[in-house]
Chains A and B, each alone.
Chain A
Amino acid sequence: DAGVTQSPTHLIKTRGQQVTLRCSPISGHKSVSWYQQVLGQGPQFIFQYYEKEERGRGNFPDRFSARQFPNYSSELNVNALLLGDSALYLCASSGDRERYEQYFGPGTRLTVT
């Protein structure tokens, strides 16, 4: 079975631009979460979606938004990029039977110049 997939792998953007990151969860998983991992730090929670509804939001500005589609894939959007948004963005999915166990994708490395 395929694990969590994310695209693109790497991305370079300029300050002020907008970016969209994509995530496909493990087949059968209905919950998708997004995390930001800045170099040298642990991942920080951004959003969780379950059955297309936002179930949790971390301490991030409104420039960050996300959505989940009927096939449970998800997009993370970041507007008006800042240099500080440079990070590895991780997507994780979890199933109903083991809701506390999250499986992570390889991440998208975003560099803002």
Chain B
Amino acid sequence: AQSVAQPEDQVNVAEGNPLTVKCTYSVSGNPYLFWYVQYPNRGLQFLLKYITGDNLVKGSYGFEAEFNKSQTSFHLKKPSALVSDSALYFCAASGFQKLVFGTGTRLLVSP
């Protein structure tokens, strides 16, 4: 069965600094991996996906993610954080006909 782990409940970073939100996965077969962001009282917004190809995936709002097969990781990154990036971030893996989500990581960017 697919599973996704997000080891950090919260990540704190100062505005302008690089940020990393960690995700590890356990899937059978080729992994299809995703990052979503959730703002208060809102649904999930798609950020980026890895299906195949380059290990560095670029997505919306300047975010990117690095797929590492040997470490079964798919960490979300951004070179320079903005206060407006503060939100709840979810990593997900595509299982059979469904998405399996991690527990989420709250990102707090301080001015």
Chain A residues within CB distance 8 Å of chain B: 4, 6, 33, 35, 41-45, 48, 55-56, 58, 90, 92, 100-107, 109
* Interface residues contributed by chain B, number (CB under 8 Å): 24
B44 interfacial by beta-carbon distance below 8 Å: yes
Q: Are A100 and B103 in contact (CB under 8 A)?
A: no
Q: Are A48 and B97 in contact (CB under 8 A)?
A: yes
> Assuming the A-B contacts A43-B90, A48-B98, A58-B98, are A104 and B104 also in contact, with contact meaning beta carbons closer than 8 angstroms in the complex?
no
The answer for the CA separation of A100 and B94 in the assembled complex, in Å, is 7
Q: Are B97 and A55 in contact (CB under 8 A)?
A: yes
Q: Are A56 and B96 in contact (CB under 8 A)?
A: yes
Residues of B within 8 A of A104 (CB): 36, 43-46
Q: How many A-B residue pairs have CB under 8 A?
A: 56
Q: Which of B42, B94, B98, B101 has the most chain A CB atoms closer than 10 A to its own CB?
A: B98
Chain B 68-111 interface 0/1 with A at a Cβ cutoff of 8 Å (1 = within): 00000000000000000000001010101111111110000000
Q: Shortest Cβ distance from B76 into chain A, in angstroms?
A: 15
The answer for the CA separation of A43 and B104 in the assembled complex, in Å, is 9
Q: Shortest Cβ distance from A74 into chain B, in angstroms?
A: 15
The answer for the CA separation of A93 and B32 in the assembled complex, in Å, is 17
Q: Are B98 and A56 in contact (CB under 8 A)?
A: yes
Q: Shortest Cβ distance from B43 into chain A, in angstroms?
A: 4
Q: Are A33 and B98 in contact (CB under 8 A)?
A: yes
Residues of B within 8 A of A6 (CB): 43
